[in-house]
Amino acid sequence: MKKKVLATLLVGAMAASLLAGCGTTVETTGSSDTTTAPEKTQTTETAEAGEAGGSDVSADITLWTYPIGEWGNAETVDSLIQDFNKEYPGINVTVEYLDYTNGDDQVNTAIEGGQAPDLIMEGPERLVANWGAKGLMVDLSDILDDTDKSEIYESVLSACVNKEGATYEYPLCMTAHCMAINKTVFEEADAMQYVDAENHTWTTDDFFKAMDAVYAHTGQTVGAVYCSGQGGDQGTRALINNLYGGTFTDADHTKYTADSAENVKAIQALVDSKAIGFDASIAGGDEINLFRQGVLNVAFCWNIAQQLNADNNDAGLTNDGDEILFMAFPSEKATDTKLCGGIWGFGVFDNKDANKIEASKLFIKYMADSAEGTPDAVLSSTYFPVRDTVEGKDLTGLYGDVQTMSEYSTLMQYLGDYYQVTPGWAEARTAWWNMLQQVGSGADVQTAVDEFVGTANAAAAN
């Protein structure tokens, strides 16, 4: 009996499943075609109507947002939506909060499951380079009028619009990612002499000297190049690129250049430094946690939202009360540092429902392009606006009275090229982690970097 069952089991399992593997997905930039999509295919031309009398639009839309400052906090977002509903009572917005660990998978399964959200809030590397490039997003050019185009900073706009001129992200806010040091410990270790605390900059030489000084003082790893994956990748990239002036991609954003001599030298220097460990068991979020706990004395995954975070202690202090100083990444000449930017805004998934698309556009216009909604929407992100004025309202003084913000804005001048829209970004990002993990396990730097660039460029060429 058993043998017979087994025989049928074997033959059947093989036959039944062999076919399953024979299909492949050839990616095209066609439009999404889910079986569940309602039979409405008329295109939207009604978006502009929103400005006039769109308040009678009625729709249920979903917004999925990553934790972008307080946009990850339900209370804040609820109050923003309440304000929005005063103007558009018919539009019911349901919000889902994503995280950087599983968020992408969640969106991807939802797309595959035919239930992509209507609105999504993140940056160009996802909205433009990933989902936009796959033809899943709605072109928002119609709500980006000429005034908007002239107001939004050039560099931001170019990241949100793809090469064919389609706008897949309507930008809301931006910041520069930086690093942070535990100033109290640095002082104890007599390492503050290497830090330009006023300008928040330092040279590569001073950086390593400071690291060694702190290491000699504490006897413990000072900073960790976290590489378990998922989130915070900009910190590791900016650190490596800046040390000796390397770049991550070419200027046209067509191919990856992380294998340059400068980058290899930088990675090697980090590997050789006793004060810095490569840690494949932690991700960016864990690193921040360890830094706050005082285990690590340097964090490479930092920005203004972290500096203002007051969950465990007053803003700008570690859990034990040590002072946190945000710093630009070190480079050979301190002021040559190029910080990685973050640009956040809204995109609309093409779910083939004209009504929902229109409602989504109204939402975007209210949050990112209106005198009433935009200031609060930007403030909630704890980042900086992407334009000086919106619909005649001045945004430059938005954070006028917050001292940390104005101090932090000195870093904005170092904002570098927004290269995260290079094709193949999602693959490149995972390959990047793997490269760091290899190097951390003692692999030859040049070999590992070559492999990374090979994988990333192959993905870029697809």
Partner 1 sequence: MNSADVFVGLANYKELFQDKVFLGALKNTLIIVVVSVPITCVFSLWVSSVIVDLKGWATSLFRIVFYLPVVTGSVAVTVVWKWMFNNYYGIFNYLGTKTGIIDQNINWLGDERYALACIILILLTTSVGQPIVLYVSALGNVDASLVEAANVDGATSLQAFWKIKWPQIMPTTLYIVVITTINSFQCFALIQLLTSGGPNHSTDTIMYYIYYSAFKLYRYGYGDAMGVVLAIMIAILSAIQFKFGNSND
Partner 2 sequence: MENKNSTKHPSAYKIISIVVIVILAILFTFPLYWIITGSFKTNAAINSTTPIWWPKEWTLVNYQKLFSRQTAPLFQFNIPFSSLITGSRDLKLTLTGPTVPAAVRWLINTVFMAIMSMILTCITASMAGYALAKKRFVGRQLLFTLIVCAMALPKQVILIPLLREMSSLNLYNTIWAVIFPIVGWPFGVFLMKQFSEGVPSEMLEAAQIDGASEAKTFLQIVVPMIKPGIGALAIFTFINSWNDYFMQLIMLSSTSNLTISLGIAKLQAENATDFGLIMAGAALAALPIIIVFLLFQKYFTKGITMGAVKG
Q: Which position among 135, 155, 268, 309 is part of the footprint of partner 1 (CB under 8 A)?
A: 135
Residue 27 neighbours by CB under 8 Å, 6+ apart? 134, 462
3-class DSSP assignment, residue 144: coil
CB atoms under 10 Å from CB of 74, counted, come to 10
Q: Is the dihedral of CA 137, 139, 145, 146 positive or negative?
A: positive
Footprint of partner 2 on 281-340 (CB under 8 A):
283, 285-286, 288-289, 292-293, 295, 311-312, 319
Residue 72 binds partner 2, judged by CB under 8 A: yes
What is the Cα–Cα distance from 438 to 444, expressed in whole angstroms?
Answer: 8
Q: Which does 292 bind (CB under 5 to 8 A by kind): partner 2, partner 1, none?
A: partner 2
State the DSSP code for 391. Answer: T
**In the complex, minimum distance from the CB of residue 101 to partner 2, in angstroms, rounded to a whole number:** 4
Region for residue 306 given its phi and psi (left: phi exceeds 0; alpha: psi -120 to 50; beta: otherwise): alpha
**In the complex, minimum distance from the CB of residue 257 to partner 1, in angstroms, rounded to a whole number:** 22
β-pair partners for 173: 344, 385
Footprint of partner 1 on 284-303 (CB under 8 A):
290, 293, 295
Q: Which position among 162, 184, 230, 306 is part of the footprint of partner 1 (CB under 8 A)?
A: 230
**In the complex, minimum distance from the CB of residue 142 to partner 2, in angstroms, rounded to a whole number:** 23
Structure tokens at 156: 């931001």
What is the Cα–Cα distance from 29 to 166, expressed in whole angstroms?
Answer: 13
Q: Which does 27 bind (CB under 5 to 8 A by kind): partner 2, partner 1, none?
A: partner 1
Q: Toward partner 1, which CB reaches closer, 54 or 132?
A: 132
What is the Cα–Cα distance from 406 to 85, expressed in whole angstroms?
Answer: 32
Phi, psi of 365 (to 5 degrees): -60, -40
Residue 371 binds partner 2, judged by CB under 8 A: no
Footprint of partner 2 on 92-111 (CB under 8 A):
94, 96-97, 99-102, 105-106, 109-110
Q: Toward partner 1, which CB reaches closer, 13 or 197?
A: 13
Give exposure, 291-308, as e/b (b: 16+ Cβ within 10 Å). bbebebbbbbbbbbbbbb
Q: How far is residue 202 from each of residues 90, 393, 448, measured CA to CA in Å?
A: 53, 37, 28
Residue 138 binds partner 1, judged by CB under 8 A: no
Q: What x-and-dash track marks residues 108-127 binding partner 2 by CB under 8 A? A: -xx-xxxx------------
Residue 394 binds partner 2, judged by CB under 8 A: no
Determine the residue type at 58.
Answer: S
State the DSSP code for 229. Answer: S
- Asked if 395 and 387 count as a contact pair (C-beta separation under 8 A), the reply is yes
Q: Is the dihedral of CA 174, 179, 185, 191 positive or negative?
A: negative
What is the Cα–Cα distance from 6 to 145, expressed in whole angstroms?
Answer: 67
Q: How far is residue 457 from each of residues 96, 127, 253, 255, 261, measured CA to CA in Å?
A: 34, 20, 11, 6, 18
**In the complex, minimum distance from the CB of residue 258 to partner 1, in angstroms, rounded to a whole number:** 17
Residue 401 binds partner 2, judged by CB under 8 A: no
Name the burial class of residue 400, with classes exposed (0-12), middle (13-18) and buried (19+) by CB atoms within 10 angstroms of its CB.
exposed
**In the complex, minimum distance from the CB of residue 1 to partner 1, in angstroms, rounded to a whole number:** 11
Q: Which does 3 bind (CB under 5 to 8 A by kind): partner 2, partner 1, none?
A: partner 1
Q: Toward partner 2, which CB reaches closer, 13 or 261?
A: 13
Residue 177 binds partner 2, judged by CB under 8 A: no
Q: Which does 154 bind (CB under 5 to 8 A by kind): partner 1, partner 2, none?
A: none
Residue 253 binds partner 2, judged by CB under 8 A: no
| Rg of the Cα atoms in the chain | 24
β-pair partners for 97: 65
Q: Which does 29 bind (CB under 5 to 8 A by kind): partner 1, partner 2, none?
A: partner 1
Q: Is the dihedral of CA 25, 28, 32, 36 positive or negative?
A: negative
Q: Which does 54 bind (CB under 5 to 8 A by kind): partner 1, partner 2, none?
A: none
Span from 133-141, 165-173, 363-371, 403-411 in contact with partner 1 (CB under 8 A): 133-141
Residue 144 binds partner 2, judged by CB under 8 A: no
Q: Which does 135 bind (CB under 5 to 8 A by kind): partner 2, partner 1, none?
A: partner 1
Q: Toward partner 2, which CB reaches closer, 284 or 330?
A: 284
What is the Cα–Cα distance from 213 to 233, expressed in whole angstroms?
Answer: 26
Residues that bind partner 2 (CB under 8 A): 5, 8-13, 16-17, 20, 34-36, 38, 60, 62, 67, 72, 74, 94, 96-97, 99-102, 105-106, 109-110, 112-115, 283, 285-286, 288-289, 292-293, 295, 311-312, 319, 353
Residues that bind partner 1 (CB under 8 A): 2-3, 6, 9-10, 13-14, 17-18, 20-34, 104-105, 108-109, 111-112, 134-136, 227-230, 279-282, 290, 293, 295, 426-427, 430, 433-434, 437-438, 440-441, 443
